[in-house]
Structure 1
Amino acid sequence: MKRLPMRRQHGQAMLETMIAASMVLVPLFLALPTLAKYLDIRSHAVQAARYAAWERTIYFGGPSASEIGWGSFTNAWVANEKNDNQIKAEVATRILSSNSATSNFSSSDKNAGDFRAGKRKLLWQDRKGQSLIAYGQVQGTAGQTCDPAGDFSSAMLGYDCAPGTINRVLMPVATLASILGPFTLEMGGKYTATVTLSPSNFSRQSYLVDTALASQPMREKLVVLGNGWSADGPNADDKTSVLQQVKGLTPLSLLATEVSIPTIGTISIIEVVQTVFSIWAPELSPRKLEVGKIVPDEVPPDRLQ
């Protein structure tokens, strides 16, 4: 058996490695910073959507509140409110800014017109030091889709409100109660938030990445199901709460309204009456009998231990 002579392949492996490195490895290494920036921006877009949806479950008044009823008889739950621009400002200052361990949240964040102190995240810069995200490139909406006012069928069937059979059963009852009297409910329970971040175009000379890929808007959407309104709620005339709505059903609660007297302090008419009659009937003392008190869902202290 005749053995064929071996051909010499001097430097072939090195040449193959250089070709693979120049075509695959080197561009990949150069693209890693871009991919890291891209993924970090997308991660913050997810956090921003979560923040915006949660804020809407708390600040759901104003245009974000659902209206129930039909025709000219509509009613809406009056609660604390923030518009989309205010939530956007908080997202920019609290999530998308370059915050430090000493940075504190402030109520003025909702009125900001830029990132916190104009500082964008240092990672979100190209090699020339130009920011990839501008304040104007932060867009989004936060709200809910429950608004069947004026539409009889929607008011009866509960379209676009919190999903579930029980909600569609309760919608006609809540709608009728809203029309007949001051009693209303916040029927919307599906709070949504959509945040869109549009990075500036990446330079091909800087990143060796196609511009069309890098400039795609990052859109994240989050949906939270829950009851934003509180059964307790504030005892304020300009807010809707169970306490405010049932006051008219308990006349003695009107006498329990507290008034401030400079020389005496804060008292109520019913307390004065009770104090006088407690001389002959101690069980009528205000410390033993709280007449006209309305506290929804009050849990006794011994049940909290």
Structure 2
Amino acid sequence: MCNNYQNQKGQALIESVIGLTYVIVPLLILLPFMAKLAGIQHRAEQASHYTAWERTVWKASDPSRLPSRTGIYLAKKTEIELAKQIPWRLYQQTGIRLTSTHKQKWDWATSIHPTLKHQLIHDGNQTVMLKSHGASPANQNELDRLTQSNKGERLPGDVSKAIDRIVGLLSYTGFSLERDQFYRTSVNNELENLYLAPFSNLNLSVQGNNALLASGWNAAGPYHVKNRVERLVLTKIMDMGVIQLAQRSLAILPFGKELKSSELKFGYVEPDILPENRLCTYGTTNCGG
């Protein structure tokens, strides 16, 4: 009994040393690095969500049946303009105000959040973890360290195909809707070969993906609403010169006053259904200003 006890003496200490050396200490070293990776992944996911949502409100091109006249209100933003907003909104350090126009220039070296920096070499300074697209980093270019893609496509599935056929039939009347409103977005960040002993050449990349279904109805003002809806009104085909001439002729008769073209309007659509005193220009006094 005594000999067995003496042989086992110090076993718990040796197990603790081995556990600390090969398990606990490496985990403690990896925790800050893993936290930074999780931060980059979170930002990539947020960026993909932001890109998908922005595309639903900022159009890349004019919607169908958009008339060429005043009174058209359409928010448009190119793919590059949309992507350049990602670093400002999601990768910037704390304290930078969000705005549509920035007076200062973006700088990946100074504008990025401190948690997105890490050592590239042993005993080196903290530098940006995100890898540049070129051999020489273009720190003034917001798109230098991220890749963003955004494409609209038709909704997959049997139900969507049936709806697509119905909308296609309505197109014979001149009515049309955008059917590429299922947006798939992706934001990708490649990481530098970071110093993480004993590991080397960690070719890591982080990607965020999102999909968002938006409405194909994009009304860009009252004239756009009128131009679209009136194609669903069947009596619109009677709104022609010959019938209007007949209406004016019948209006001469005592019982035909209500038949004149200014009173009986075929295919008439009026988008402004509110009383005039309830209409206002957004941004003015008493109207969102």
TM range, smaller chain? 0.5 to 0.7
The residue number in structure 2 matching 1:23 is: 22
The residue number in structure 2 matching 1:105 is: 98
Using a 3 Å threshold, how does the CA distance of structure 1 residues 125 and 17 change in structure 2: closer, same or farther? same
The residue number in structure 1 matching 2:225 is: 242
The residue number in structure 2 matching 1:256 is: none
> Which string of whole-angstrom CA distances, capped at 9 and with x for unpartnered residues, describes residues 73-116 of structure 1?
xx67795332322221111111111132xx4322226x997458
The residue number in structure 1 matching 2:220 is: 233
The residue number in structure 2 matching 1:130 is: 127
The residue number in structure 2 matching 1:49 is: 48
Matches within 5 A, 1:167-206: 167-172=160-165, 174-175=167-168, 178=171, 181=174, 183-205=175-197
Relative to the length of structure 1, the TM-score reads 0.59
* Aligned amino acid, residue 196 of structure 1: N
> Which string of whole-angstrom CA distances, capped at 9 and with x for unpartnered residues, describes residues 117-141 of structure 1?
9410101111421111255221111
CA-CA distance at 1:185 after TM superposition: 1.2
CA-CA distance at 1:59 after TM superposition: 1.7
State how many pairs are aligned: 220
* Contact 1:57-1:228 at 8 Å conserved across structures: no
Using a 3 Å threshold, how does the CA distance of structure 1 residues 293 and 89 change in structure 2: closer, same or farther? same
CA distance in 2 between partners of 1:189 and 1:298 (Å)? 30
CA distance in 2 between partners of 1:187 and 1:204 (Å)? 48
CA distance in 1 between partners of 2:172 and 2:107 (Å)? 45
Q: Tell me, which stretches of 5 or more residues in structure 2 are unaligned? A: 68-73, 120-124, 133-141, 237-267, 279-289
Secondary structure of residue in 1 paired with 2:116:
coil
Relative to the length of structure 2, the TM-score reads 0.62
CA distance in 2 between partners of 1:25 and 1:296 (Å)? 69
Taking only the aligned residue pairs, the percentage that are identical comes to 20
